[in-house]
Amino acid sequence: MKRLFVIAALAAAGVAHAQPNDSKTLSAEEITQYRAGAGMGYAKAAELNHFPGPMHVLDLADKLALSAELRAATKRLMDDHKAEARQIGAKLVDAERNLEALFRSGKVEGAELAKATHEAARLRGEYRLSHLEAHLRMRALLSDEQVKRYDTLRGYEAGGAQHHHRKH
């Protein structure tokens, strides 16, 4: 049910659906999420250590008492980040498809395999970096008190040791 909700929400947001899933390595949901620039847990290191994500900050804007200026700055940050993440995500989906196509062809050469594998890994790293940098930039916009309030609202313990692992 949650999976259908995510896909429906992405569709409602105007995110293009993935092409028919000709990939055995990525699910249709993963393809949709990468193309949408979804977080997919890539920023947990930031989220669980007092570096809020812009999407969640916008969701909690009233409870965090964000000024109109800070709301606008957060929205710009989120829009810029999502555009970048969608672009990288689409390239990552293509790279995974290319890697799989090598094996599907039955003619896998060592150098070509290494190149395709490294490209997919590089793009996965870029995707994660994009999400982590968005959290870093978001943290710079918030006061310490807003970050503490955010952590409380998201269900994280103040000491940082007892985090609830929510899907990000």
Asked, for residue 146, whether it belongs to a domain, the answer is: yes
Asked, for residue 48, whether it belongs to a domain, the answer is: yes
Asked, for residue 86, whether it belongs to a domain, the answer is: yes
Asked, for residue 102, whether it belongs to a domain, the answer is: yes
Asked, for residue 52, whether it belongs to a domain, the answer is: yes
How many CB atoms neighbour CB 92 within 10 A? 25
pLDDT at 12: 43
Q: How far apart are CA 168 and CA 155, in angstroms?
A: 13
C-alpha torsion angle, residues 135, 34, 96, 46 (rounded to 10): 20
Q: If residue 133 lies in a helix (H) or strand (E), which one and from where to where?
A: helix 110-141
Asked, for residue 58, whether it belongs to a domain, the answer is: yes
- Model pTM greater than 0.85? no
pLDDT at 66: 97
The stretches in the chain having pLDDT less than 50 are: 1-20, 160-168
Asked, for residue 1, whether it belongs to a domain, the answer is: no
Indicate the number of domains in the chain.
1
Phi and psi torsions of 150, nearest 5°: -55, -50
Phi-psi group of 14: left, alpha or beta (phi > 0 → left; psi -120 to 50 → alpha; rest → beta):
left
pLDDT at 23: 74
- Identify the domain containing residue 130 by its residue range: 24-154
Which CATH number covers residue 141? 1.20.120
Asked, for residue 163, whether it belongs to a domain, the answer is: no
**Do 56 and 154 meet the contact criterion of CB atoms below 8 Å apart?**
yes
pLDDT at 21: 58
